[in-house]
């Protein structure tokens, strides 16, 4: 009598081969945690918050941060982008991480006009920002322009005092490393997109 294994050796071989391919395909296409690439180290800074306190990069380490450079007299991209960040704030609140594990940090590059009082109005009355986890910072104008370069952003001031600037939201991880840039002018970038980026670093 022919042994079972020998009698069905071809069928067993084909079965094992199909099984190996199935396992390999499953491993390749099974959803995995997507690690964001590390772009650069965020530059150090020390700036005044709207409540008069001093905020530094090192002092906010341990949390995921979203940085946005703006000016409150902007009539173009800054208001809608800040509104989107307000939606990000609400999404992070729903997930229970706003203020405790994640911060929003908006930095003005127009400190002469964006006084502490004006920033407070911009933040709380115009944008309903929760200042327990969202900082609005101001510092020296030239130093802020240099800081923007360190973050991979840029601003130019013309002779009339008007500003041209990139409109990026920058994702920084808990160790102070830039992990992703969101072009806020891209219609495919939404509050959900940015909030998901934050959460990906908290998993």
For 126-188, what is the HEC assignment?
HCCCCCCCEEEEECCHHHHHHHHHHCCCCEEECCCCCEEECCEEEEECCCCEEEEEEECCCCC
Q: Give this prediction's pTM.
A: 0.81
Check if the beta carbon of residue 121 is closer than 8 Å to that of residue 136: no
Strand 134-138 relative to strand 102-108: parallel, antiparallel, unpaired? parallel
Strand 54-56 relative to strand 46-49: parallel, antiparallel, unpaired? antiparallel
pLDDT at residue 18, as a whole number? 44
Environment class of 67 (CB within 10 Å of its CB; exposed 0-12, middle 13-18, buried 19+): buried
Of 49 and 20, more confident:
49
Question: How sure is the predictor about 174, in pLDDT bands with cuts at 50, 70 and 90?
Answer: very high
| Mean pLDDT, rounded, for 94-119 | 97
Query: What are the φ and ψ backbone dihedral angles of 68, each rounded to 5 degrees?
Result: -140, 125
Instruction: Tell me: pLDDT of 20 over 50.
Output: no
Per-residue model confidence as pLDDT tens digits over 73-97: 999 999 999 999 999 999 999 999 9
pLDDT at residue 117, as a whole number? 96
Q: Would the CA dihedral through 126, 127, 132, 138 be positive or negative?
A: negative
Question: How sure is the predictor about 38, in pLDDT bands with cuts at 50, 70 and 90?
Answer: confident
Helix (H) or strand (E) holding 27: helix 9-29
């Amino acid at each position: 009598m022919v042994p079972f294994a020998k009698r069905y050796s071809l069928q067993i071989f084909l079965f094992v081969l199909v099984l190996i391919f199935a396992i390999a395909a499953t491993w390749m296409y099974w959803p995995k945690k997507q690690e964001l690439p590390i772009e650069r180290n965020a530059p150090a800074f020390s700036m005044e918050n709207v409540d008069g306190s001093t905020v530094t990069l090192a002092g906010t380490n341990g949390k995921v941060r979203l940085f946005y450079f703006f000016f409150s007299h902007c009539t173009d991209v800054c208001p809608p982008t800040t509104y989107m960040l307000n939606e990000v704030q609400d999404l992070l609140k729903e997930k229970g991480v706003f203020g405790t594990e994640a911060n929003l940090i908006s930095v003005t590059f127009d400190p002469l006009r964006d006084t502490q009082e004006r920033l407070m109005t911009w933040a709380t009355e115009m944008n309903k920002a929760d200042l327990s986890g969202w900082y609005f910072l101001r510092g020296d104008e030239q130093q802020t322009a240099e800081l923007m370069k360190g973050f991979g952003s840029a601003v130019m001031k013309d002779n009339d005092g008007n500003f041209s600037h990139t409109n990026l939201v920058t994702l920084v991880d808990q160790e102070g490393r830039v992990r992703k840039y969101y072009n806020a002018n891209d219609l495919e970038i939404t509050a959900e997109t940015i909030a998901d980026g934050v959460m990906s670093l908290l998993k």
